[in-house]
């Protein structure tokens, strides 16, 4: 058993970053800013109703913006490759590479075996919030999404059908014209857009608090590959008190898609290919 001196000695050891990103190719934000100004035009607008979800398509080289339009509201975002719905956003690896909350220059990475950037954050009107005294920040890749299964366990058997997991399941089922069971299989851990979250210092538990988002605030992304997005307007509203119920005041969210113009010049940029690891995993032929 360790004595108190051992405990103190180990606790004073400096942390080591698990995944140093010094060698990770950084997105050229100046180039992406030029693309935004010169190469694209608005092609679609989607309103996501409160306690519901919608899917949308974004071509590679395009942009999409998620905006709060009527009141403080958080959203749960899923991404898939347009041509392969098995390639989907990998929240855990994104967190390991960039940290618990995303901001400008961070990228949303896809699942194994593809592992490549799907989208890059290019604008964030809540970047001023930083990290608060509780350790909270916005746009997290910590929480998985509110879901009816956890709610069923924690509420002594209640069935609630407008958690973000269910909202996304309905939207995916409709968009792909597949059964809810098949749709549920490809709904995945989310980017919590506008949500203010962290871990408690004493117990290490995931917490939420009132989002600082206001009407007009937005988070914008560059599509590194052809994408299908799914966005749920969370039943928790601004997540200041609870979720997984109809108690909170909720508002719609706006998604705007900007697609490349005909003849737009992308010669200085290439869409990232799928990961080139050979997948032999140390096994001989």
pLDDT tens digit string along 221-240?
999 999 999 999 999 999 99
List the alpha helices (DSSP H) in 39-125: 91-98
Distance of CA 226 to the CA centre of its chain: 16
pLDDT at residue number 1: 58
Distance of CA 5 to the CA centre of its chain: 42
DSSP 99: -
pLDDT at residue number 116: 98
Cα distances (Å, whole numbers) of residue 122 to 65, 108, 242, 281, 283: 10, 12, 30, 35, 41
pLDDT at residue number 3: 84
C-alpha span between 182 and 194 (Å, rounded): 28
Q: What is the pLDDT of residues 49-92, one digit of tens each?
A: 999 999 999 999 999 999 999 999 999 999 999 999 999 999 99
Q: Could you tell me which residues come within 8 angstroms of residue 238 by beta carbon, excluding any fewer than 6 positions away? A: 71, 72, 73, 74, 210, 211, 213, 248, 249
pLDDT at residue number 244: 87
How many CB atoms lie under 10 A from the CB of residue 112? 11
C-alpha span between 214 and 194 (Å, rounded): 10
Q: What is the pLDDT of residues 99-142, one digit of tens each?
A: 999 999 999 999 999 999 999 999 999 999 999 999 999 999 99
- The answer, yes or no, to whether residue 183 has pLDDT greater than 70, is yes
Mean pLDDT across 137-166: 97
- The answer, yes or no, to whether residue 37 has pLDDT greater than 70, is yes
How many CB atoms lie under 10 A from the CB of residue 145? 24
- The answer, yes or no, to whether residue 152 has pLDDT greater than 90, is yes
pLDDT at residue number 245: 87
pLDDT at residue number 74: 98
pLDDT at residue number 2: 64
Mean pLDDT across 134-154: 97
Using only C-alpha atoms, the chain has a radius of gyration, in whole angstroms, of 20
């Amino acid at each position: 058993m360790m004595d108190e001196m051992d405990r103190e000695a180990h606790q004073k050891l400096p942390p080591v970053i698990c995944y140093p990103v010094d060698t990770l190719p950084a997105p050229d934000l100046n180039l992406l800013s030029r693309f935004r100004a010169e190469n694209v035009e608005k092609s679609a607008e989607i309103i996501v109703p409160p306690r519901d979800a919608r899917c949308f398509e974004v071509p590679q080289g395009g942009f999409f913006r998620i905006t709060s339009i009527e009141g403080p509201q958080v959203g749960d975002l899923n991404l898939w490759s347009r041509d392969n719905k098995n390639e989907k956003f990998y929240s855990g690896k994104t967190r390991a590479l960039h940290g618990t909350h995303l901001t400008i220059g961070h990228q949303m990475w896809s699942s194994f075996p593809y592992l490549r950037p799907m989208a890059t954050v290019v604008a964030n009107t809540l970047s001023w919030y930083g990290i608060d005294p509780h350790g909270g920040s916005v746009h997290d890749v910590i929480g998985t999404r509110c879901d009816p299964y956890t709610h069923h366990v924690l509420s002594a058997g209640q069935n609630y059908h407008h958690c973000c997991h269910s909202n996304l399941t309905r939207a995916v089922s409709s968009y792909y014209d597949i059964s809810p069971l098949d749709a549920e299989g490809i709904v995945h851990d989310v980017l919590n857009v506008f949500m203010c979250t962290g871990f408690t210092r004493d117990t290490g538990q995931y917490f939420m608090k009132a989002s600082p988002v206001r009407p007009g605030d937005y988070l914008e992304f560059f599509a590194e590959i052809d994408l299908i997005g799914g966005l749920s307007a969370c039943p928790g509203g601004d997540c200041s008190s609870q979720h997984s119920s109809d108690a909170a005041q909720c508002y719609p969210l706006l998604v705007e898609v900007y697609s490349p113009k005909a003849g737009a010049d992308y010669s200085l940029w290439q869409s990232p290919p799928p990961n080139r690891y050979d997948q032999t995993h140390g096994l001989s032929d």
